[in-house]
Structure 1
Amino acid sequence: MKTRYLPEAPQRAEIDAMPGAVMLEFGANWCGHCMAAQAPLQQAYAGHDKVSHYKVEDGPGRPLGRSFRVKLWPTMIFLRDGQEVARLVRPLNADDISAAFAQIDS
């Protein structure tokens, strides 16, 4: 599991073309809500090693977050073959995150 939000985000076209299971996590390294979500995310991510995890730094002028209409952090978007299947905003429960992983990881 990635531990830091990276300022270099893939392009939307790259995300849309990715095969299989992908989880986008939008937020910022300094965000308290984002930090609070890390323990349940780590717990839920265990066993889902096949899911590509992109931890994307978000904010003004960041086109990838805007293209997904991200408004609050963290926002986790679960994709299967480039299509959004589930979205969680400010999740604090590992069970909710696990349920979203189950929808994309097969």
Structure 2
Amino acid sequence: MTMNIEYAKTAPARAEIDALSGPTVVEFGTDWCGFCRAAQPLIAQAFQGHGAVKHLKIEDGSGRPLGRSFRVKLWPTLVFMLDGQEVARLVRPGDATEIRDALALIDEPLAR
């Protein structure tokens, strides 16, 4: 799967996220967030070569239960999951290398 470019307005239930198999990145943010927009080129660069990783891009905000269940405080927050379990988390990533390193934790589990 390739990187999603738009935030989904409706979020899946937490149980659906926890039941996902394989590598997944759940990204929380909004289209109007400056930090989120600044991070998009970095995220896109890091996702190159990680086509097997599911990317769920979820619009977050006050009263949104999925973001609250992950205790999201700042945007963008990227939660790196493998088989429904959180492996790593990045908040407001500053470069593609840190995103790539976190992706390697879930996309290449045999390398750990």
Q: TM-score range by the shorter chain?
A: over 0.9
Q: Show the counterpart of 1:26.
A: 28
Q: Mark the runs of 5 or more structure 2 residues left unpaired by the alignment.
A: none
State the Cα deviation string for residues 47-97 of structure 1 (Å, max 9, x = none): 111100000000011100000000000000000011000000000200000
Q: Distance in 2 between matches of 1:50 and 1:9?
A: 21
Equivalent runs, 1:57-68 vs 2, <5 Å:
57-68=59-70
Q: Distance in 2 between matches of 1:68 and 1:25?
A: 11
RMSD: 0.6
SS at match of 1:97: helix
TM-score by length of 2: 0.93
Q: Distance in 2 between matches of 1:11 and 1:48?
A: 25
Equivalent runs, 1:1-106 vs 2, <5 Å:
1-106=3-108
Q: Distance in 1 between matches of 2:88 and 2:101?
A: 9
SS at match of 2:102: helix
The one-letter amino acid paired with 1:45 is F
The one-letter amino acid paired with 1:7 is K
TM-score by length of 1: 0.98
The one-letter amino acid paired with 1:52 is K
CA contact 1:24–1:55 (8 Å) conserved in 2? yes
Shift of residue 10, structure 1, vs aligned partner: 1.0
CA contact 1:36–1:92 (8 Å) conserved in 2? no
Between Structure 1 and Structure 2, how many residues are aligned? 106
Q: Distance in 2 between matches of 1:84 and 1:11?
A: 16
